[in-house]
Amino acid sequence: MNNFVQRSYIQSRLALNENATNIHKDLVKIHGAFAVSYITVTRWVNRFKSQNHSLEDKPRAGRPVTEINLANISRIEALINNNPRLSTYDLEELTSISHPNVLKILHDHLGLRKVSSRWIPHSLTVEQKQKRLDFCKAMLAKLKSGEWRLDQILTGDESWFFHRKIEKRASCASWKKNRRSSRCRGQTRQI
């Protein structure tokens, strides 16, 4: 839809005898990063000058893309939900969908991007916090009763470690929703 609007803008500005450079500058002001390239503007200007006033693309030879459908999108989404560390090549192998279409599904339809893992400090569960509280109360009761003295208590810090062999940086990257996922192109596109 965005390309159709830009093509009609190019056509109307060309009717006012505007050149391709000024038309492209105006499109960038209006559409920002979503504006078509200067080469595309010149291609459409030349097409309109040759008396072809159709805003639609010419029919192309070849088979239309049939791999991007709701079933394949939900299959890839389920695989990512089960294991967010899967690479695009793993997804291609598991689903038998071509690599460019896997990328389109991930980025355009699911709004995902690959991010590297970060250290997340260990958070205690409610049960673990309660056990610590109970233990501290028991120790305090022993101190108050005189059963223990303060110099008999040895304290220390608890550390939790998770060992995983990391071969490459890409092996610890996982898929995450884009912050701008509401502006994801795939949500407005019909499948």
For each successive 10 residues of the chain (191 residues), what is the average pLDDT? 80 88 90 88 88 75 77 92 88 90 90 74 80 90 84 66 60 72 43 42
In a domain, 185, yes or no: yes
Q: Identify the residue whose tokens are 């088979």.
A: 63
Q: Find the helix packing angle between 20-31 and 38-49, rounded to 10°.
A: 130
- Assess whether 67 and 108 both reside in one domain: yes
In a domain, 165, yes or no: no
- Assess whether 110 and 181 both reside in one domain: yes
Q: Which domain holds residue 72?
A: 63-148+170-191
In a domain, 160, yes or no: no
Q: pLDDT value at position 181?
A: 47
- Assess whether 75 and 105 both reside in one domain: yes
Q: pLDDT value at position 156?
A: 64
Q: pLDDT value at position 1?
A: 47
Nearest to 119 by CA among 43, 41, 80, 172: 172
Q: pLDDT value at position 74?
A: 93
| CATH value at residue 42 | 1.10.10
- Assess whether 44 and 68 both reside in one domain: no
In a domain, 115, yes or no: yes
In a domain, 162, yes or no: no
- Assess whether 175 and 99 both reside in one domain: yes
- Assess whether 121 and 98 both reside in one domain: yes
- Assess whether 79 and 142 both reside in one domain: yes
Q: pLDDT value at position 143?
A: 86
Q: pLDDT value at position 155?
A: 64
- End-to-end distance of the chain based on CA atoms, in angstroms? 14
In a domain, 144, yes or no: yes
- Spatial distance between the Cα atoms of 145 and 184, rounded to a whole number of angstroms: 65
- Assess whether 67 and 33 both reside in one domain: no
In a domain, 157, yes or no: no
Number of domains, the chain? 2
Report CA-CA distances (Å) from 33 to 36, 107, 183. 8, 17, 13
Is residue 30 within 8 A of residue 12, CB to CB? The reply is no
